[in-house]
């Protein structure tokens, strides 16, 4: 690891000022992603500002929903009563990720900022536009089994690995950030992460020094019918090949509202808006779920080695919607 200066921030303004003043500085949350990438020399910040002691760890009711502190751990968030009862989709998604040890360390702010697991990105001897702009994309014509089927560019075909973020995308979360001179702003979740375009080095729209302070979840009536389905190469402690966050509200058997977001398929959580539009107002039947999934995946652009993801995503969407219909109980029947 290269040398870096370490400090603990006592208040958000200090943290923001330090990181804004030094382009080489980074906030340090649980360190589960950043420390790993520093060991691999993929990232080499000259300064780390530890934000885990900031008082941003609460999870509380607001006028319009629930606010989740950015430095609350993933474990605490998934297990908080407000989240389990009102946003079980988020609990399920968080619990589908990593291991208990990692979730005990990982912060919510850090989770949103975790970087891709593209193996070319991790290997400093390989070309990678995300790690080193202009060096080329090793995966585009390389081994791209785990890569994107939606929204990629010639510059980068990586997928964004977070499970938590897939649920946040489905739940229309809002990210609260604080910048220099106490400049606060909010970012709609759909606008938080980016597609790679010509600037894959930018994962999201945060500016240097901007600190995530909380994530807000608007009130919804999905609690009784939501499901997070994760498909991976071993049954636990592995990143998703494809994952689906699905949530429904019904009037009789007619779909009043539906939210579907996919993980493992794009550079950001992929809102399946085609499928959502297709389903709204229709009967909640398996045939309709299937047809909606077909419609969504029509637009997929798989790469050389990941064509399987198209069929997998179709099935996964259908299964996740069925899981939601079965009340979000783990272990799908039928």
Ligand X SMILES: Cc1cc2nc3c(=O)[nH]c(=O)nc-3n(C[C@H](O)[C@H](O)[C@H](O)COP(=O)(O)OP(=O)(O)OC[C@H]3O[C@@H](n4cnc5c(N)ncnc54)[C@H](O)[C@@H]3O)c2cc1C
Q: Which one of residues 106, 128, 173, 187 is an interface residue with ligand X (CB under 6 A)?
A: 106
- 96: contact with ligand SF4 by CB under 6 A: no
Interface region with ligand X, contact rule CB under 6 A, candidates 76-84, 95-103, 128-136, 187-195:
95-103
Instruction: Please work out the total of residues on this chain that contact ligand SF4, with binding judged by CB under 6 A.
Output: 14
Phi/psi for 128 (5° steps) reads: -165, 115
Interface region with another protein, contact rule CB under 8 A, candidates 4-12, 109-117, 254-262, 294-302:
4-12
For another protein, which is the closer residue by CB, 102 or 295? 102
Interface region with ligand SF4, contact rule CB under 6 A, candidates 66-74, 90-98, 137-145, 170-178:
137-145
For 250, the token pair is: 């019904």
Closest distance of CB 257 from another protein, Å = 19
SS3 content of the chain, % helix, strand, coil (to 5): 30, 20, 50
Answer yes or no: are the C-beta atoms of 210 and 178 closer than 8 Å: yes
Distances (CA, A) of 9 to 54, 183, 254: 7, 18, 51
Q: Which one of residues 118, 174, 229, 241 is an interface residue with ligand SF4 (CB under 6 A)?
A: 118
- 89: contact with ligand X by CB under 6 A: no
Nearest to 131 by CA among 41, 57, 68, 66: 41
Q: Which one of residues 9, 18, 34, 66 is an interface residue with ligand X (CB under 6 A)?
A: 34
Task: In whole angstroms, give the CA distance from residue 86 to residue 72.
Answer: 18
Q: Which one of residues 31, 127, 136, 197 is an interface residue with ligand X (CB under 6 A)?
A: 31
For another protein, which is the closer residue by CB, 76 or 156? 76
Answer yes or no: are the C-beta atoms of 259 and 236 closer than 8 Å: no
Instruction: Please work out the total of residues on this chain that contact ligand X, with binding judged by CB under 6 A.
Output: 31
Map tokens 């919804």 to a residue. 220
Task: In whole angstroms, give the CA distance from residue 283 to residue 272.
Answer: 18
Map residues 20-39 to x or -, x wherever contact with another protein holds by CB under 8 A: --------x-xxx--xx--x
- 107: contact with ligand X by CB under 6 A: yes
- 116: contact with another protein by CB under 8 A: no
Relative to beta strand 5-8, strand 47-50 is: parallel
- 99: contact with another protein by CB under 8 A: yes
Relative to beta strand 65-69, strand 59-61 is: antiparallel
């Amino acid at each position: 690891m290269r040398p870096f200066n370490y400090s603990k921030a006592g208040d958000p303004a200090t943290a923001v000022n330090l990181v804004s003043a030094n382009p080489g500085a980074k906030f340090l949350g649980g360190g589960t992603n950043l420390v790993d990438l520093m060991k691999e020399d993929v990232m080499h910040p000259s300064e780390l500002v530890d934000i885990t002691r900031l008082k941003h760890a609460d999870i509380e009711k607001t006028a319009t929903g629930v606010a989740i502190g950015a430095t609350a751990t993933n474990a605490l968030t998934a297990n908080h009563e407000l989240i389990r009862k009102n946003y079980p989709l988020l609990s399920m998604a968080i619990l589908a990720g990593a291991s208990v040890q990692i979730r005990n360390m990982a912060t919510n702010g850090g989770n949103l900022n975790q970087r891709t697991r593209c193996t070319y990105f991790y290997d400093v001897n390989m070309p990678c536009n995300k790690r080193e702009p202009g060096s080329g994309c090793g995966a585009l014509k390389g081994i791209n089994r785990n890569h994107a089927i939606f929204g990629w560019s010639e510059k980068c075909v990586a997928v964004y690995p977070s499970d938590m973020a897939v649920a946040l995308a489905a739940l229309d979360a809002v990210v609260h950030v604080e910048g220099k001179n106490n400049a606060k702003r909010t970012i709609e979740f759909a606008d938080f992460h980016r597609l790679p375009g010509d600037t894959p080095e930018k994962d999201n729209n945060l500016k240097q020094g901007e600190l995530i302070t909380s994530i807000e979840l608007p009130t919804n009536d999905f609690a009784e019918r939501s499901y997070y389905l994760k498909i991976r190469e071993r049954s636990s402690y592995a990143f998703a090949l494809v994952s689906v966050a699905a949530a429904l509200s019904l009037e009789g058997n007619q779909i009043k509202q539906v939210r579907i977001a996919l993980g493992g398929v794009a550079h950001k959580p992929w809102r399946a808006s085609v499928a959502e539009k297709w389903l709204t107002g229709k009967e909640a039947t398996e045939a309709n779920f299937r047809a909606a999934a077909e419609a969504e995946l029509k637009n997929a652009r798989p790469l050389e080695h990941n064509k399987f993801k198209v069929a997998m995503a179709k099935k996964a969407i259908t299964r996740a919607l069925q899981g939601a219909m079965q009340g979000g109980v783990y272990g799908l029947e039928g």
